[in-house]
Structure 1
Amino acid sequence: MSAKRRISIVMVLCMVLSWFTGVFPTERAQAAVDFDMTVNESTYTNLALNRSVTILEPDIHFDVINNEPLKYEKESDKGDTAKLALLTDGKLGNLSDWSNVTDWFVFYRKMKREVIIDLGDIQTVKEMSISFGQRSDVGIAPPFNVRYYVSNDGEQYHYVGVAEPDVPLFYAYNPGSTQMDRKLYKLSSLPDGSELTVQARYVKLVFVIDTFGWADEIEIRGVEGMAEDAVLPETLNFPDGFTYDELVKPGVPEGAEVAHQFLWYTGPMNEANKHFTDWTREKVMTMLGHRDIEGRYTDWYFDDILAIPVVAMVTPTTPTGTGAAIYKTKGDMLAFVDFIFQQETQLGAINWAVGELNKQLGTDKKVRINMAIPYLDDQNKSNDFGDIGYGAPFYTYAGDFASAVREKGMDPQSREGAYEMARLAVENKKAIVRWYIDEVISRFKAAGYDHLELNSFYWYHERVLAKDGEVEMIRAAADHLHEKGYYFTWIPYIGPASPYIWRDLGFDTASIQPSYAFRNSSKQIFPATEELARRVGGSIEVEYDDYRTLAQYLNYGYFSGYMTEAANTYYLSSNPIVVGAFAYAPRDNKETDSLSVIRRNVYDRVFEYVKGTYQPRFTATLVTNVTDKANIGVNVKLPLADNFVKGNFTIMYDVGKAAYDTYDLGPALKGKADVVVDHSTPGEVKVSFDIHNPDDALAGDLAGKQKILEGAPDLLTLKFHKNDGVNDTDITPRLFVLSADGQMITRDNIVYLNWGASDLIPGSLEEKIAGASDAVVKALRDRDYYDIARELVEALPDSLQKAEFQAKLDSIDVNPFRIEWQSPADEFRLGNDAKMTVQATNLTTSSKQMTLIMGLFDTTSGEMVAYTAVTQEVEAAKSITPTAMIKIPASGTYEVRAFVWDSLDGMRPLSNRVTVPVR
């Protein structure tokens, strides 16, 4: 962290005064607000009065796709003449009771609206406005802005400008529990600053609804008829700021140079979950490079990293157990920054890994870093953020500025005074955002990373809360970053206004979230999201929650072309990259399981997508019931199927444990397809089908939120029985595996490959590596497995993975006992008894034998003259303390030697030798 300035007493007093008066350096000062201005103040005629209104809802399909209830604003409302008349009847809505909607037209969800006013004839337009109500605590939120377009023919519309609210959205005057504020969106000049004087018969207003949008009056003011100086719409050629009709290209400056950006979630976690963000050098390597199953890095994976706080990150302000980090103070912000800038992990590990991969791959690459800006949350309570260089308490809650407002001669309870308090709070929030950016830049430079480039910052919050001053914070960040030469990026989710307003806020690029993996959506969300992203010039995020929904993201990216033709961002949950790379040899001494192959498939399929080599994939699922060992059922389902009419796949099983009997066709194929089930090859059942009628093509979608198997086409159930002499415990679902081959063909003759095997294939290299890995893990816990592990590891082909296993085995002390001598005397006496006691602890999971041996040796001849042995069985994980005793003669020269063997026959040493002289 850069050293803070030392401030003299005089300077401190000056800064305190600045704080009280709200005077801080800002890029974009808030314009003065005239609260006395009436909504319809104008000398021109209201040309829209009682004119007809048409409402278009181009985004309504998003609510339908996401199964959102279309309530409050009924489908018939936009065609209800009486309700539409509320928008041009010359009457303003009632502000005294927000629950009274008599005078308001209520918009609900559905994102963008296009409201068209037919002026009857071509008129001369000088001013345009619409007003909305605001009551944020009940979800009544005006739009961020309103765009205006004009046309003379009703076909081609031309953009004339955008209007923002007359009073910023962070402030609404709601003095009572029922009162509502009003915001006016008035346009009287063209984008080039010239006076608005334009011919128009049709005026279109375009805005985006958050949740509720209550509009009361549209006014189009001007002069009837066509004035001589009125501009023809066709002569206007202003870009409207969000109509682009193309996806942002990969790697271009217009898209912040993003081609394939990995969302790297990190930050301090609680003790139980810290492994999620323990980004060591080894783990980071798998994120930056593609690691094959034998441990080699074959190519680069990601070279663009978005460092983003994990949701459940721990900050000083976050209450224990809340599960969601709160960023309210300087300490909260620094919790993330301090964690990121570590030398051996996090950014330090990334920098090291880039250098290492450059060596291994013969490249000279730098990795781009995009740094998240956590969302400042004042929690609507008094709070000192902490010193960011002003030498005084720093507040972000409006109520804390009452004294400052009184100093300015205002009443904090008045409209003007309350607005000023809110403004001062927002100015401080903007200052905090700038401080955070500067802090990160300073630390990055101080770290001296030779393989990393900080080129952008990212706004962490996925939805803009205008009532909290977030619009102003984002714009302040954008101005500050652009002044310093950094990009500013965002990944909003579909819904509210986010996908449309990102350019207005100052972001350089935005990647839109389809959210198919997490919501009750249909697959139509993919073409709809692409169309929206294309319209606004953005890109699309790939999201992972389950491999079957992930396949839909990748498939659509392939078919639409945005896999290679557009920038892509990747949300891949906590760390499936790491667990996928090490799927057959898990880290932290974990064993493989039934999902290991699926994890590896995710790692490899996403890599193919990043490299542009991915092919469309289907994702069959086996639902295996082994409850009745004489009637084992392996049901094959095809979740999220894409209209398949032909297909083939293979189920493999262990012929030593089970035998195939027959099959039953499921409803998806029974009576609808020719089906061939070939079980002529031992251990394999090959299935192929050909559907007669294309109308019966196999198709599936989510039945509900993350409900993948419900409604999936049920193909058939293969029947098996347990072989004689096989233990019931040996019959598990993992005996039956979908092999990696197979394909599906759609009714449009498009070929889909299999996503991959469903589990380890017997005899495959993957199975051998997994078996060796599991044995090594067991040997680390229990020395009984050492010999087995060594044998399995030695059978592997030479590789880096094999060498890693051998190194782990070499670190194991193979002695099954821990031997601790309890009473080694300094010396024994002639004519007395010599006693030796040891504590022997069995370190294995089975009973073991140990033998304590004690011998008396003549030191002159070197011969043993007497010995005694105590042999005992030691239970698993138990300890014993046997004692051996021997009688020493009254004369002679002797010494006593003692040691532990496994047995007198085996003679395997289990301890060092202890020698005690006899005096």
Structure 2
Amino acid sequence: MKIVRRVMGRYFLQYLFVCLTCVFCFSCSSDDNPEPEPEKPSSEDPGFPWEEERTQILSTRDMVLIYGGGAHRTTIWDKEHLSSYVTYKDETGKEHWLFDSYLFLEIHNGKDKMFASGYTQTPANQRDWMDLVDYYFQSKIAVGALDKCIGEAAERIGKPSEKHKIVIGLPEPIFGQKDWGSLKDGIMLDFSSSLDRIDACKWYIDYVRKKFKALKVANIELAGFYWIAEEATNTRTIVRDIAAYLNELKYSFNWIPYFNSDGYNEWKNLRFNYAFLQPNYFFNETVPYSRLDEACQIAIKNGMDMEVEFDENVLSVNNGGGRLYDYMKAFKENNVWNSKRLAYYQGNSALYLLSVSADPSDNRLYHEFCHFIIERPGIK
């Protein structure tokens, strides 16, 4: 399967170190220890006030991708790391709000379990899906830490005009899997059935809603979900029903297909609310600058939003900063910067590394990139 960004270095740095995340944060399971049965959603309406009060589906403006929840990750998403994604101090020392939205996602758990097809691992099961959600909704890291960062920043610079938003990655129920788990009567779901795949996704959505409510955050809205699969090949039969369920609850359904992926131009028919096109330019130096212009025009033609892409190679020591400058230049020249919602892929924690770097070239790039965000016109 052609997964351009995955092949072109999107994840190559993520295997260099032994992850500390599992030690300090992630509720990983051991094959040697029995696991409790996953909690089943209640048949009673749990009551989610924010859904009852919401009058429309929320959109994002500048949404940064935060990868976490796998044992291979090296970044612990605590307040120290997330603060660089919440506000930015410009050259004069003035502090600004930065991203308005945060997409928490993972592609595999670092223990040979994948959350989307196209990899070589074993399909993740219900317990793995549950562990992923449990990782996101902790008080001292991930969503809990983000909420605290926003609250503390609001005391310094005043409340933002609206609450910050989170979007949660929704795993792909991989076709043919028969050992995912059960929802009732102990009967195992069979992912050869579209109905069973859809039911598993609904269970996951409901579990996220419940965990978000239990965390009791003050500065964040649960805005939507993100489809982890970057192509439509294996999920055309189920995404419309998932979208209908989400939209009924007033959540957005988001997608970030790779360049020319199967189904990218069908995103409206597939019932995604927002689709962000990946140019897949940053990761391969043989891809010419014209790719960015082409991607911008494809996105405009198909009514899509777009993604900015970079990873740890953006640091001056790796000589990749010039290609991030290219994104900013092309997006402005093609009127994407001032008219589109943007998503920002930044590898593991490349923006944090830029923000703390002592290298003058990194400092210049960091400031220009942050100005690129904070100076964008309001996007509706």
Q: TM-score, normalised by structure 2?
A: 0.76
Name the structure 2 match of 1:440. Answer: 208
Partner of residue 284, structure 1:
82
User: Which has a greater percent of strand?
Assistant: 1
Structure 1 residue 3 displacement after superposition = 6.5
CA contact (8 A) 1:2 1:443 kept: no
Counterpart position of 1:337: 133
Of residues 597, 607, 622, the one that matches 2:360 is 597
Q: Is the 8 A contact 2:233 2:262 kept in 1?
A: no
Give the alignment partner of residue 258 of structure 1, picking from 60, 77, 82. 60
Quickly say closer, same or farther: Cα 1:430–1:280, change in 2 above 3 A. same
Amino acid at match of 2:170: I
| 2:287 is equivalent to residue 492 of structure 1 | no
Amino acid at match of 2:370: F
- Pair 597,267 (structure 1): closer, same or farther in 2 beyond 3 Å: farther
- Counterpart for residue 53 of structure 2: none
> Which secondary structure does the structure 2 equivalent of 1:563 belong to?
coil
Q: Pick the aligned partner of 1:384 from 179, 184, 188.
A: 179
Query: Does the C-alpha gap of structure 1 residues 333 and 602 become closer, same or farther in structure 2, counting only changes over 3 Å?
Result: farther
CA gap 1:323/1:359 in 2 versus in 1, 3 angstroms: farther
1:433 positional shift: 0.9
Paired residues for 1:507-546 under 5 Å: 507-519=272-284, 520-545=286-311, 546=320
Q: 1:533 to 1:283 in 2, by over 3 A?
A: same
SS of alignment partner, residue 489 of structure 1: strand
Is 1:351 the counterpart of 2:161 in the alignment?
Answer: no
The letter for the 2-side match of 1:605 is E
- CA distance, structure 2, for counterparts of residue 524 and residue 397 of structure 1: 41
**Which among 414, 428, 431 is matched to residue 196 of structure 2?**
428
Partner residue, 1:549:
323
- TM-score (norm: length of structure 1): 0.33
- Deviations for 1:284-315, whole angstroms, at most 9, x for unmatched residues? 11111114689x67111112111111x45335
RMSD: 2.7
Following TM superposition, by how much is the alpha carbon of 1:5 offset from its aligned partner in structure 2, in angstroms?
5.4
User: For 2:342 and 2:121, how far apart are their aligned partners in 1?
Assistant: 27
How far is 1:553 from its partner?
0.6
Aligned residues: 315
More helix by share: 2
Cα distance in structure 1, aligned partners of 2:361 and 2:108? 26
Q: Does residue 307 of structure 2 align to residue 307 of structure 1? A: no
> Would the aligned equivalents of 1:308 and 1:371 in 2 still touch at CA under 8 Å?
yes
Whole-angstrom CA distance in 2 between matches of 1:581 and 1:539: 26
Distance 1:447 1:438 in 2: 14
Partner in structure 1 of residue 333 of structure 2: 559
Among 464, 478, 491, which residue is 2:243 paired with? 478
Aligned to 1:386, what secondary structure does the other structure show?
coil
Q: CA deviation at 1:336?
A: 1.2
How far the C-alpha of 1:613 sits from its partner, in A, is 7.2
Residues 1:373 and 2:175 aligned together: no
Q: Partner amino acid for 2:157?
A: L
Corresponding letter in the other structure for 2:330:
Y
1:689-708 equivalences in 2 (<5 Å): none
Structure 1: runs of 5 or more not aligned: 7-252, 399-424, 585-595, 615-919
- Secondary structure in 2 matching 1:306: strand
Q: Secondary structure at the match of 1:332?
A: helix
Asked if structure 2 preserves the Cα contact closer than 8 Å seen for 1:564 and 1:612, the reply is no
Shift in alpha-carbon separation, 1:570–1:433, aligned structure 2, 3 A: same
- Output the amino acid matched with 1:275: T
Which residue type is aligned with residue 430 of structure 1?
I
Give 1:268 deviation, angstroms.
3.0
Structure 1 counterpart SS, 2:74: helix
Asked which structure has the greater CA Rg, the reply is 1
Greater relative CO (CA pairs within 8 A, separation 6+): 2
User: How far apart in 1 are the matches of 2:90 and 2:374?
Assistant: 15
Name the counterpart of 1:456: 224
What fraction of aligned residue pairs are identical, expressed as a percent?
A: 22
* Equivalent position to 2:343, from 554, 565, 569: 569
Whole-angstrom distance in 1 between the partners of 2:119 and 2:267: 28
SS in structure 1 at match of 2:267: helix
User: Where do 1:315-330 residues align within 5 Å?
Assistant: 315=111, 317=113, 327-330=123-126
| Aligned partner of residue 99 in structure 2, secondary structure | coil
Q: Is the 8 A contact 1:313 1:324 kept in 2?
A: no
How far 1:609 moved relative to its partner?
A: 0.8
Opposite residue 260 of structure 1, the aligned amino acid is: D
Tell me which of 362, 369, 373 is aligned to 1:606.
369
Question: How far has the Cα of 1:361 moved from its partner?
Answer: 0.7
Unaligned runs of 5+ in 2: 1-37, 44-55, 312-319
Letter in 1 for 2:341: A
Give secondary structure in 2 for the equivalent of 1:503: coil
